[in-house]
Chains A and B, each alone.
Chain A
Amino acid sequence: MLTYLARRLFVMVPTLIMISVLVFVIIQLPPGDFLTTYLNELQAQGEAVDPAKIEFLKQQYGLDQPIYVQYAEWAWGLLHGDLGFSFEYNLPVREVVGDRLWLSLVLNFSTVLFIYIVSFPIGIYSATRQYSWGDYGFTFVGFLGLAMPNFLFALILLYYANVVFGTSIGGLMDPEYINQGWSFGKVMSVVEHLWAPVLVIGTSGTASMIRRLRANLLDELSKQYVVTAHAKGLSPKKVLFKYPLRMALNPFIADIGNILPQVVSGSVLVSVVMSLPTTGPMLLTALQSQDMYLAGSFLMFLALLTVVGMFVSDVLLAWLDPRIRLQGGVGQ
């Protein structure tokens, strides 16, 4: 078990290195860099640009160095917690990002929690009462959630909240707390605002999770070992919770790693629509203006989230399933 954990942790290191290289290369792929974009913008506005100043800026930002040197400096900085410098904001990335990272984390974590809490009982209900009215009803609502684009749902929600209740549910906190220090009031305000984006981002994830749990559980319910458990004289509820549900949990947990990046990337559009102070909108503009250190930091953050999520799900799986723990794979 310990070697398993150590191995998993060890594998994370080369994975993250590979991702950082990829991130860097992909950001650099479009022709030009931040300065050329900046220049084009200035020229389009009819301003003259002094070539000497450009040279100076290039040197200052290190953009005249070969790409691997730039990468090495960036990676070295990352290791020390230095996220680099944002060209666009003329500030260190750390300051630009500010609370956004934490707010994103809170938002995404709440969304995942929401997905699990809602889909779990509904999935069990749907599987144990297959083809009942309730099952059909949840299936219908689930497919609706799956089919509707997130941003559309967000717009509809915003519209009705405004028209019917006369409130604005955009943002993650009341306007008076924006750019203020953290206080109890601010935390409560965030909590109050959180439900709308969580609901919007979580619907499709919840819908697909319900379907998955239902299918898994249905498969397990017809297995022989469930009949054996019934034959022992266990009550139906105990049978359900001890045996098939335990088995059906496997894909549930294995999904942690998948669901995180899904939720994160799904939240970008919604964040733009609902003007949430999360990383999504900022990542978008950073990519557009080739503000490479800012974009790179965001992408690395996402990668770290995914890799950690995978690790957590691996550990949980090994803990739950003796076949993985003792055999290194699910047999049969």
Chain B
Amino acid sequence: MTDILRIKNLKVEFVLPHMRVKAVENVSFRIGAQETVALVGESGSGKSTISQAIMGLLPKSAQITNGSIIFADPKKPGTRVDISMLDRAGKEMRAIRGGRISMIFQEPMSSLSPLHTIGDQICEAVRLHRKVRGREARELAVEMLTLVGFPQPKRALKTYPFELSGGLRQRAMIAMALVCRPALLVADEPTTALDVTIQAQILRLIREVQSELQMSLLLITHDLGVVANMADRMVVVYDGRVVEAGQTQEVFINPGHAYTRSLLAAVPHFNMGPDERLRPLREIKPKTGSLLAEVGNAEAQRENTEVPASLALHPTMASEPVLAVRHISKSFSTRKGNWFKSEEQRIPAVSDVSLTVNRGECVGLVGESGCGKTTLSKLIMRAMNPDDGSILFRGESGQMTELVGLDEDQLNPYRKRIQFVFQDPFGSLNPRMTVQDIVAEPMLIHGVGDGEYRRKMVLELMDLVGLDPRFLNRYPHSFSGGQRQRIGIARALGLKPDLLIFDEPTSALDVSVQAQILNLLKDLQRNLNLTYLFISHNLAVVDYVADRIAVMCAGRIVESAPREQLFRNPVHPYTQALLHAVPFADLDHLLDFDKIVDGKASDPTRWPAPFTINQNSAPKMMQFAEDHFVRAERADFTEVAI
């Protein structure tokens, strides 16, 4: 097999006014004809720099100081070009870039110009590299749009990117990259920003067009699940160096380098035993001190007095509900129309959702973007008022209290009991406050303890999340994403809340850091007997932390069951579609691309008979098995009065 691309001893340095920073050093690998090579690494590993070097898209300050990138174009047999020697803006490089080597990017939202039509942007690529006229270019564009699965390719030419969904935008992006039939496609995290079901469709599409156009693929990703399903060979980069390279199968089964091993061990997968733990690169040992241990002990004592010890092992069955959401609904209105008559359109964000969280349990809420899971969490936090339904919460008095209808003052004592950890570790911490102030702020707001108590508590919280108390006077910018998320967790724990809501707490983090945070959350829950509502789009993550899982789609909970049951025996078609679409980092459970259907699995009107939701039928939650509920209309399921 002839190699299309051969990288040898590549070294890229960033030249700054007062120093040189090595980004990539001594990197060598090759990509064969029609082969898929995955470049795997975490953020900052240099994998994007490598791809930029191949494309000649390195930023101005970056220099290739050593090595070569030899590109052998199969269309011109015998010729070899060293890309590293070419002028980045020169004619030769531009002929290769976009013509023979194309690239697709992570963010389908921002990688297309919002001011130009899809047709304009694709035809531009055609006309740059081929001598064709406007009409021929349009025909080629339509042909490519058809290939990538646009439902109406002719019309798509005239649409603007913002009129398309994320999945379609990525398809348009792929069409644009492929329209000149390149020899090599560089895909930089092509599916990271997409939902699982869409991700599976795009992965399948990339595979299909790859064999159709007979091109090679360099797949840059941090997701080992994607690697397992797509790549022939994989190259693992760490800190700018290649630590391991080989056939995907061999690397997965018998990883040679310690880093690869730890990367594989850090990915949550579905057949993990109940006591099996993820192994992050660096484990955090939470240390409980006097103030927080009291909570745990007190709770444990109460548990012990109230429930028999045998049942205490199954917190779901044993303990009382902390939160009970009943038939809650919320819709947003958008105004359409002109100045004189405006039609108000109500778009339901959450409809008829019921959910119970028991003390000491972790309930996972899974759903794709836009399914209403964040709205639901905001409703529970009472940051928004529901249109309908009730939210019962067990406060300090031990009584369930109705939160809907309470005014701001009456809500105040409950605000203290429910705390929130946000998705974005960068945006959720005030950059102008020290860590000390950030962690102490909730206590200050609610007037908990005196200054002495708060200082002691903050120190203990830092210990608890494994951060050095010497960091207390620093500002958030000096911490990594994982450390910031731990600060966020410490802040949420300071008030000893009865319920912690996590909204995608690890989706912005690397796998190894994610494993670290997930383990920390599990340990904290066990040690302090905490109650979690864990919201995520990542099924494997939810499977790892949650005891009970509710699947949400189009504003409704469609299925809820204990964790083992949901994954072993999914009933609802949407849950099944989700499970089919998740790429596992496991060679024994590869994606079945035949089962992935195009179109939206999240459209309730298209679900088969007992599950369909449209104007005529509005199924309710039915009991399918013990503790297993499905939204369906079927006689053999009994309706439950929750």
B111→A227 contact, CB < 8 A: yes
B89→A233 contact, CB < 8 A: no
The one of A224, A234, A242, A247 in contact with B94, judged by C-beta atoms closer than 8 angstroms, is A234
Interface residues of A in 202-233 (CB under 8 A from B): 223-225, 227-233
B89→A231 contact, CB < 8 A: no
Selecting from A77-85, A299-307, A319-327, the interface stretch reads A319-327
A233→B160 contact, CB < 8 A: no
B287 at the interface (CB under 8 A from A): no
A246 at the interface (CB under 8 A from B): yes
CA–CA, A24 and B550, complex, Å: 65
The one of A10, A236, A246 in contact with B89, judged by C-beta atoms closer than 8 angstroms, is A236
The answer to whether residues A323 and B162 also contact, given A231-B98, A236-B89 and a CB cut-off of 8 A, is yes
Interface residues of A in 222-265 (CB under 8 A from B): 223-225, 227-236, 242-243, 246-247
B115 at the interface (CB under 8 A from A): yes
CA–CA, A82 and B103, complex, Å: 66
> B151-179 vs A: 1/0 string, CB under 8 Å?
00000000010110000000001001100
> B93-110 vs A: 1/0 string, CB under 8 Å?
011111100110101011
A181 at the interface (CB under 8 A from B): no
B115→A232 contact, CB < 8 A: no
A322→B338 contact, CB < 8 A: no
B55 at the interface (CB under 8 A from A): yes
The one of A3, A11, A224, A332 in contact with B105, judged by C-beta atoms closer than 8 angstroms, is A224
B124 at the interface (CB under 8 A from A): yes
CB-CB nearest 5 A-B residue pairs:
A233-B98, A232-B98, A224-B110, A233-B94, A233-B97
Q: Would you mind naming 12 contact pairs between A and B with Cβ atoms under 8 Å apart?
A: A224-B105, A228-B176, A232-B125, A232-B128, A233-B128, A235-B94, A243-B115, A246-B113, A323-B160, A326-B163, A327-B162, A332-B162
A53 at the interface (CB under 8 A from B): no
> A304-332 vs B: 1/0 string, CB under 8 Å?
00000000000000001111001100011
B57 at the interface (CB under 8 A from A): yes
Chain B residues contacting A321 (CB-CB under 8 Å) are 115
B176→A7 contact, CB < 8 A: no
Interface residues of A in 1-33 (CB under 8 A from B): 3, 7, 10-11
The number of chain A residues touching the other chain, given as a range, is 20 to 34
> B258-302 vs A: 1/0 string, CB under 8 Å?
000000000000000000000000000000000000000000000
Chain B residues contacting A332 (CB-CB under 8 Å) are 109, 114, 162
B98→A322 contact, CB < 8 A: no
The one of A227, A230, A323 in contact with B114, judged by C-beta atoms closer than 8 angstroms, is A323
Chain A residues contacting B128 (CB-CB under 8 Å) are 232-234
B interface vs A, CB < 8 Å?
A: 55, 57, 89, 94-99, 102-103, 105, 107, 109-117, 124-125, 128-129, 160, 162-163, 173, 176-177, 338-339
A322→B115 contact, CB < 8 A: yes
Q: Give the distance to chain B from A204, nearest Cβ to Cβ, in Å.
A: 30
CA–CA, A223 and B124, complex, Å: 19
Q: Smallest CB-CB separation from A3: which chain B residue?
A: B338
Q: Smallest CB-CB separation from A320: which chain B residue?
A: B115
B115→A234 contact, CB < 8 A: no
A235→B89 contact, CB < 8 A: yes
CA–CA, A229 and B97, complex, Å: 10
Q: Give the distance to chain A from B90, nearest Cβ to Cβ, in Å.
A: 10
CA–CA, A7 and B342, complex, Å: 13
The answer to whether residues A224 and B114 also contact, given A231-B55, A322-B160 and a CB cut-off of 8 A, is no
CA–CA, A322 and B129, complex, Å: 27
Chain A residues contacting B176 (CB-CB under 8 Å) are 228, 232
B99→A233 contact, CB < 8 A: yes
CA–CA, A326 and B159, complex, Å: 10
CA–CA, A260 and B95, complex, Å: 46
A243→B124 contact, CB < 8 A: no
A interface vs B, CB < 8 Å?
A: 3, 7, 10-11, 223-225, 227-236, 242-243, 246-247, 320-323, 326-327, 331-332
Q: Smallest CB-CB separation from B106: which chain A residue?
A: A224
A227→B115 contact, CB < 8 A: no
Q: Smallest CB-CB separation from A222: which chain B residue?
A: B59
A-B contact count (CB 8 A): 84
B160→A326 contact, CB < 8 A: yes
Chain B residues contacting A7 (CB-CB under 8 Å) are 338-339
Q: Give the distance to chain A from B548, nearest Cβ to Cβ, in Å.
A: 36
Q: Give the distance to chain B from A131, nearest Cβ to Cβ, in Å.
A: 10
CA–CA, A216 and B567, complex, Å: 49
A243→B98 contact, CB < 8 A: no
Q: Give the distance to chain B from A8, nearest Cβ to Cβ, in Å.
A: 10
Chain B residues contacting A230 (CB-CB under 8 Å) are 57, 97
Chain B residues contacting A331 (CB-CB under 8 Å) are 114, 162
Chain A residues contacting B110 (CB-CB under 8 Å) are 223-225
Chain A residues contacting B125 (CB-CB under 8 Å) are 232-233
Assuming A225-B114, A227-B57, A234-B128, what are 18 further A-B pairs, CB within 8 angstroms?
Answer: A224-B110, A224-B111, A227-B111, A228-B173, A228-B176, A230-B97, A231-B55, A232-B97, A233-B99, A233-B128, A234-B94, A235-B89, A242-B116, A322-B115, A323-B114, A323-B162, A326-B163, A331-B114
A231→B102 contact, CB < 8 A: yes
The answer to whether residues A247 and B115 also contact, given A230-B57, A322-B160 and a CB cut-off of 8 A, is yes
Chain B residues contacting A242 (CB-CB under 8 Å) are 116
Chain B residues contacting A224 (CB-CB under 8 Å) are 105, 107, 110-111
CA–CA, A242 and B103, complex, Å: 20
CA–CA, A121 and B162, complex, Å: 30
Q: Smallest CB-CB separation from B117: which chain A residue?
A: A322
B160→A232 contact, CB < 8 A: no
Q: Give the distance to chain A from B396, nearest Cβ to Cβ, in Å.
A: 43
The one of B95, B113, B129 in contact with A243, judged by C-beta atoms closer than 8 angstroms, is B113
B129→A233 contact, CB < 8 A: yes
CA–CA, A298 and B517, complex, Å: 67
CA–CA, A247 and B114, complex, Å: 9
The one of B95, B103, B114, B339 in contact with A322, judged by C-beta atoms closer than 8 angstroms, is B114
CA–CA, A195 and B520, complex, Å: 71
Q: Give the distance to chain B from A242, nearest Cβ to Cβ, in Å.
A: 8
A225→B97 contact, CB < 8 A: no
CA–CA, A235 and B176, complex, Å: 17
The one of A3, A11, A234, A327 in contact with B124, judged by C-beta atoms closer than 8 angstroms, is A234
Chain B residues contacting A323 (CB-CB under 8 Å) are 114-115, 160, 162
The answer to whether residues A228 and B339 also contact, given A233-B94, A323-B162 and a CB cut-off of 8 A, is no
Chain B residues contacting A233 (CB-CB under 8 Å) are 94-99, 125, 128-129
Chain B residues contacting A11 (CB-CB under 8 Å) are 339
Q: Smallest CB-CB separation from B55: which chain A residue?
A: A231
Q: Smallest CB-CB separation from B176: which chain A residue?
A: A232
Chain A residues contacting B117 (CB-CB under 8 Å) are 322
CA–CA, A168 and B110, complex, Å: 56
The answer to whether residues A228 and B105 also contact, given A234-B124, A246-B115, A322-B160 and a CB cut-off of 8 A, is yes
CA–CA, A229 and B107, complex, Å: 14
CA–CA, A135 and B410, complex, Å: 58
Q: Give the distance to chain B from A120, nearest Cβ to Cβ, in Å.
A: 18
Chain A residues contacting B124 (CB-CB under 8 Å) are 232, 234
Q: Give the distance to chain A from B89, nearest Cβ to Cβ, in Å.
A: 5
